[in-house]
Chains A and B, each alone.
Chain A
């Protein structure tokens, strides 16, 4: 009977990590639904980008209040995980504070976890106020599930940190009472102020409190881990690969579509025979689709972007179209892409392979009006703290509208026919191009 807690713990751990792994595999499969794009070059530069932007939070601190608070929560998250390691070992083997043998260093560790837990609590409260009370447009514009999602994550943090400190406060009392197993170890700079609340409680009640907080804390962490997949919060893991695989070219550079290059080269080659049969051994392939009307037309890096987005809205708050009341919101582009990708993934789970559901990213999620409002100014790309490019998705969808559907606004059709006919976006004769020199 004495091993029941150990067994229950192992079951909870395996179930929690197992279900999470199952869902993460879905995320990876869904990302792989995207088209191939080569991001295997410049490994050094990519690591540097990840070190600066994801690990070093360099773009977060461009907005100092949110940036510094985020660093506290981020550090708290990473460092308090050392404590989780101890909890897991204790849970499996039925030990208590297995790292206590570290002595003075253990005191330092527990002490710093407590400080961080306290700072995280303070930060999370400020975050909640910013999201729900302050007049910050990028948060005010979130409604429904995305708004609740953001708050739920904050509540999780509050509960987890409070349980951690409660557990330590009860432990401190038990250490003072000299209860069995509760060896004197650790420093408790924050929970020492909570401990007096438990004065006069019996040893049994204190053990119930300590164990209760311990169990709820670790179960809470496992639930939080599994909540990630259903929320916008995957950035705590995906920010690292996302910054590594980000586009390293100058922001102004758009990719040149290879399928188009092949066609153009054929047109420009005077000796090419457009009716020629494909060379032997070369299969006649289906003509490539130009641009993107659904998530599977995007590349995997763009789909990784969508899962990484944590809906902070810095992109939208910097977008000139959005600021002047147009429908375009780069954040919505990313949220729509992820929602549609989740829908496609669920369709595959249900049917084994994707069955036409009569929907696509274009029109059902993102309208042409949004796409045509973009000035391609790259403000959204510059603003993103984790290297997402909403612009590349907008351009790919414009490509589909223009090259597959000829559905450009009529002004743009005029501009393009001018370029085709006389080599300028306006109706001037190419032969007049040097007239300015003698006007």
Chain B
């Protein structure tokens, strides 16, 4: 976590009169959460490695408004959305990539009717396209032969029907991909969506992330792969609750690819 990575901002590009290939929307978790920052850095390394011309908004980025909207605060959501759209439109953004399925869903589906029209990709989709174009090499390395199970983020899977991109990338790692009994469109939520991440759960007999972690543990994995910073937190907490943190890692797909290559 100590090495500095070069991350150009849109403002710098603008000053040079250039336009990047893609805007990397980092998101609040990716910017501030210690665990998620590692995912952000891993993804940036992959972008550099694939020689992708990208930029971030940096301090001009603000929450997409997803948790506010799902909590019912449409006012706050639209204030955030309109502000972000103004910034992105001023930079004439065409293409956006993000490592957060919530940002992905919001910008892709809920910004267009407010004036924000961009091609939006989840980082697993973007990495898959780099792979297909031959710009990114994915190889097993140290994960070769490991048992990995992938937890579908609701806002990537059911919400937007993206199931294959993360799995295609994992298969390239030459790992043993094992599906949980509930996967893809039947995947169980990690418990963080709909603004639950930011509140205590309602009274019940179990936490949702424990229920989901049990699904994952049934596959006897070495690694639980995630594609969302919030799922990552929930599953990591679940693994700790089961006292399995010494034997099972929870890693984002981008981290797996970057770590495999020792980037």
Q: Which residues of A contact B (CB under 8 A)?
A: 249-254, 256-257, 260-261, 263-265, 267-268, 290-291, 318, 320-321, 323-328, 369, 372-379, 381-382, 395, 397-403, 408-409, 411-412, 414-416, 419-420, 423-426, 428, 430-439
Q: Across the interface, which residues of B come within 8 angstroms of A375, CB to CB?
A: 154, 189, 191-194, 196, 208
Q: Across the interface, which residues of B come within 8 angstroms of A436, CB to CB?
A: 26, 30-32, 37, 40-41
B71 within 8 A of A: yes
Which of B104-154 touch A at CB < 8 Å? 105, 108-110, 113-114, 154
- In angstroms, Cα B185 to Cα A323, docked, is 17
Which of B4-37 touch A at CB < 8 Å? 4-7, 9, 26, 28, 30-33, 37
CB–CB B76/A416 < 8 A = yes
CB–CB A411/B59 < 8 A = no
Q: Across the interface, which residues of A come within 8 angstroms of B70, CB to CB?
A: 254, 376, 395, 398
Q: Across the interface, which residues of A come within 8 angstroms of B32, CB to CB?
A: 424, 426, 428, 432-433, 436
Query: Do A320 and B59 contact each other (CB < 8 Å), given the known contacts A260-B78, A326-B201, A438-B4?
Result: no
Q: Across the interface, which residues of B come within 8 angstroms of A290, CB to CB?
A: 74
Closest to A405 in B: B72
- In angstroms, Cα B33 to Cα A79, docked, is 60
Q: Across the interface, which residues of A come within 8 angstroms of B56, CB to CB?
A: 434
Q: Across the interface, which residues of A come within 8 angstroms of B193, CB to CB?
A: 375-377
Query: Do A403 and B31 contact each other (CB < 8 Å), given the known contacts A252-B109, A433-B26, A439-B2?
Result: no
Q: Across the interface, which residues of B come within 8 angstroms of A400, CB to CB?
A: 72
CB–CB B59/A433 < 8 A = yes
CB–CB A425/B158 < 8 A = no
Count of chain A to chain B residue pairs whose CB atoms are closer than 8 Å in the complex: 225
- In angstroms, Cα B56 to Cα A433, docked, is 10
Distance in angstroms from B254 CB to nearest chain A CB is 14
The 5 closest A-B pairs by CB, nearest first: A252-B159, A376-B194, A398-B72, A325-B205, A423-B62
- In angstroms, Cα B9 to Cα A403, docked, is 36
CB–CB A403/B67 < 8 A = no
- In angstroms, Cα B73 to Cα A425, docked, is 13
- In angstroms, Cα B76 to Cα A415, docked, is 11
B47 within 8 A of A: no
CB–CB A403/B75 < 8 A = yes
B206 within 8 A of A: yes
Query: Do A261 and B114 contact each other (CB < 8 Å), given the known contacts A375-B208, A402-B73, A424-B32?
Result: yes
Distance in angstroms from A435 CB to nearest chain B CB is 8
Closest to A398 in B: B72
Which of B156-212 touch A at CB < 8 Å? 158-161, 185-186, 188-189, 191-208, 210-212
Q: Across the interface, which residues of A come within 8 angstroms of B63, CB to CB?
A: 419, 423-425
Query: Do A403 and B72 contact each other (CB < 8 Å), given the known contacts A374-B194, A411-B198, A415-B198?
Result: yes
B61 within 8 A of A: yes
Q: Across the interface, which residues of A come within 8 angstroms of B78, CB to CB?
A: 256-257, 260-261, 264
23 sample A-B contacts, Cβ–Cβ < 8 Å, listed by A number: A250-B109, A250-B160, A251-B160, A252-B159, A256-B81, A263-B75, A268-B83, A324-B201, A372-B199, A376-B70, A378-B154, A378-B159, A379-B186, A399-B72, A401-B72, A409-B200, A423-B62, A423-B63, A426-B33, A433-B32, A434-B7, A434-B9, A436-B40
Q: Across the interface, which residues of A come within 8 angstroms of B219, CB to CB?
A: none
CB–CB B194/A326 < 8 A = no
Distance in angstroms from B115 CB to nearest chain A CB is 10
Closest to B185 in A: A382
- How many residues of B sit at the interface, in one of the four size bands? 35 or more
CB–CB B194/A416 < 8 A = no
CB–CB A425/B41 < 8 A = no
Query: Do A377 and B75 contact each other (CB < 8 Å), given the known contacts A321-B208, A326-B202?
Result: no
CB–CB B7/A398 < 8 A = no
Closest to B30 in A: A436
Q: Across the interface, which residues of A come within 8 angstroms of B80, CB to CB?
A: 419, 423
CB–CB B72/A324 < 8 A = no
Closest to B155 in A: A252
Q: Across the interface, which residues of B come within 8 angstroms of A323, CB to CB?
A: 188, 206, 208, 211
B221 within 8 A of A: no
Closest to A261 in B: B78
CB–CB A439/B37 < 8 A = yes
CB–CB B155/A321 < 8 A = no
Distance in angstroms from A291 CB to nearest chain B CB is 7
- In angstroms, Cα B36 to Cα A439, docked, is 13
Most buried by B among A256, A265, A325, A375: A375
B217 within 8 A of A: no
- In angstroms, Cα B82 to Cα A249, docked, is 21
Query: Do A434 and B204 contact each other (CB < 8 Å), given the known contacts A411-B198, A419-B65?
Result: no
Q: Across the interface, which residues of A come within 8 angstroms of B4, CB to CB?
A: 437-438
Q: Across the interface, which residues of A come within 8 angstroms of B41, CB to CB?
A: 436
CB–CB A324/B58 < 8 A = no
CB–CB B82/A264 < 8 A = yes
B263 within 8 A of A: no
Distance in angstroms from A146 CB to nearest chain B CB is 23
Closest to B75 in A: A260
